[in-house]
Amino acid sequence: MSDLSQTVLSVRNLQVSFRGGDGLVRVVHGVDFDLKAGETLALVGESGSGKSVTSFALMRLLPDPPRSQISGHVSIGGVDLLALSDRDMEKMRGPRIAMIFQEPLTSLNPVHRIGDQIAEAIRFHRKMTRREIEARVLELLKLVGIPEPAKRMRAYPHELSGGMRQRVVIAIALALEPDVLIADEPTTALDVTVQAQILDLLRELQTRTGMAMLFITHDFGVVAEVADRVMVMYSGRIVEEGALDDVLARPRMPYTRGLLASVPRLETAGLDTGPLGTIEGFVPSPNALPPGCSFAPRCAFAQEGLCTSAMPELAAHGQPHHPVRCVRAADPALCADLQELQP
């Protein structure tokens, strides 16, 4: 079990751009965060906000340059992943950082038995005999709660249910006991009962191994169940960050309040999320960001000039540490109406 006060992943000024018909378009605009051993940090935001691109950048799984460009620093154990050769990065994927992908049903190879797919993940990194690897595969299948593992390891993906396939995907991600696990919407494709089982499983595995988890979702209901800390992302930027309880009880950014208001489970838990209701409009396209705050065109509290001239900094205001990218949250005189909405 790792030292739980230890920072295992440190991300600084992460920027990602893609080259397409419109030239180079930036979709991640300088993301900063730290992740400690044993901690679960939720990355939340609507579709298209840049959550998956951020996680692919951490794994160095974006299209090769010049189709994509990454800059900044992504450090694990003092090693900057963005500075590694492709070969050295391959050695980090698995034991240091692993990912459960958003599309679990397509991340298994349909023509290989699941046991062989788990074995392959181990063989690349560890000098183990066939027998040792098979024993480890069985152990992993048991760990992720697959019944009759000796029989199931010879099954092909299509012979398993969606929930069982997702357990296999988790077994592959955990095969080398990563320091950091990125789970990108790991339960979206699953029904509610299986979703609860998978969340329980991830929590239990985390307690056992002390791995740090970056948990990506658009669902604040899931966030409330899994996270210690929350980062809200909008248009490729972190717009609010804080401890789970603090963000749920005192969301500062109108966007966060809107996300919370659309979660019925939280309302029934007694949280008054204010009159924002659902958020009108859409996440702007990365090649047509509005001037000023990217959320201003959809924000019920936006003021012409103040909110539409410059992008606010992600600024902390007092304790507890709960920075927010909103000029109105920064100035008490300007955010009286937001204050009134406080639950």
Ligand X SMILES: Nc1ncnc2c1ncn2[C@@H]1O[C@H](COP(=O)(O)OP(=O)(O)OP(=O)(O)O)[C@@H](O)[C@H]1O
Q: Which residues bind ligand X (CB under 6 A)?
A: 18, 20, 27, 45, 47-53, 63, 102, 218, 286
> What SS3 state is found at 171?
helix
Task: Name the DSSP letter for residue 332.
Answer: G
Residues numbered 35 to 74 that lie near Mg ion (CB under 5 A) are 51-52
Structure token pair of residue 86:
């492709």
210 binds, among ligand X, Mg ion, none (CB under 5 to 8 A by kind): none
The enclosing H or E element of 86 equals: helix 86-92
What radius of gyration do the chain's Cα atoms show?
21
218 binds, among ligand X, Mg ion, none (CB under 5 to 8 A by kind): ligand X
Instruction: Give whichever of 175 and 182 is closer to ligand X, judged by the CB atom.
Output: 182
CB distance 69 to 100 below 8 Å: no
CB of 63 to ligand X, least distance (A): 6
CB distance 44 to 253 below 8 Å: no
CB of 195 to ligand X, least distance (A): 16
β-pairing, 68-76 vs 40-44, is unpaired
45 binds, among ligand X, Mg ion, none (CB under 5 to 8 A by kind): ligand X
Instruction: Give whichever of 184 and 301 is closer to Mg ion, judged by the CB atom.
Output: 184
Q: Which amino acid appears at position 302 of this protein?
A: A
CB of 236 to ligand X, least distance (A): 7
Structure token pair of residue 122:
């181990």
CB of 20 to ligand X, least distance (A): 6
Q: Does 217 bind Mg ion (CB under 5 A)?
A: no
CB of 177 to ligand X, least distance (A): 26
> What SS3 state is found at 247?
helix
CB of 221 to ligand X, least distance (A): 15
Instruction: Give whichever of 33 and 156 is closer to ligand X, judged by the CB atom.
Output: 33
Instruction: Give whichever of 169 and 176 is closer to ligand X, judged by the CB atom.
Output: 169
Closest residue by beta carbon to Mg ion: 52
47 binds, among Mg ion, ligand X, none (CB under 5 to 8 A by kind): ligand X
CB distance 316 to 294 below 8 Å: no
Task: Name the DSSP letter for residue 240.
Answer: E
Q: Which amino acid appears at position 148 of this protein?
A: E
Instruction: Give whichever of 38 and 45 is closer to Mg ion, judged by the CB atom.
Output: 45
Beta bridge partner(s), residue 97:
93, 180
Structure token pair of residue 166:
């997702």
Question: How far is Cα 257 from Cα 173, in angstroms, rounded to an integer?
Answer: 33
Name residues whose C-beta falls within 8 Å of residue 30's C-beta, 6 or more positions apart in sequence. Answer: 13, 14, 15, 72, 237
297 binds, among Mg ion, ligand X, none (CB under 5 to 8 A by kind): none
CA atoms within 13 A on the CB side of 161: 7
Instruction: Give whichever of 181 and 335 is closer to Mg ion, judged by the CB atom.
Output: 181
CB of 188 to Mg ion, least distance (A): 9
Instruction: Give whichever of 63 and 332 is closer to ligand X, judged by the CB atom.
Output: 63
262 binds, among Mg ion, ligand X, none (CB under 5 to 8 A by kind): none
CB of 184 to Mg ion, least distance (A): 6
CB of 51 to Mg ion, least distance (A): 5
Instruction: Give whichever of 121 and 214 is closer to ligand X, judged by the CB atom.
Output: 214
Instruction: Give whichever of 122 and 214 is closer to ligand X, judged by the CB atom.
Output: 214
Beta bridge partner(s), residue 73:
12
Beta bridge partner(s), residue 71:
15
48 binds, among Mg ion, ligand X, none (CB under 5 to 8 A by kind): ligand X
Question: How far is Cα 294 from Cα 50, in angstroms, rounded to an integer?
Answer: 13
Q: By CB under 5 A, name the binding residues for Mg ion.
A: 51-52
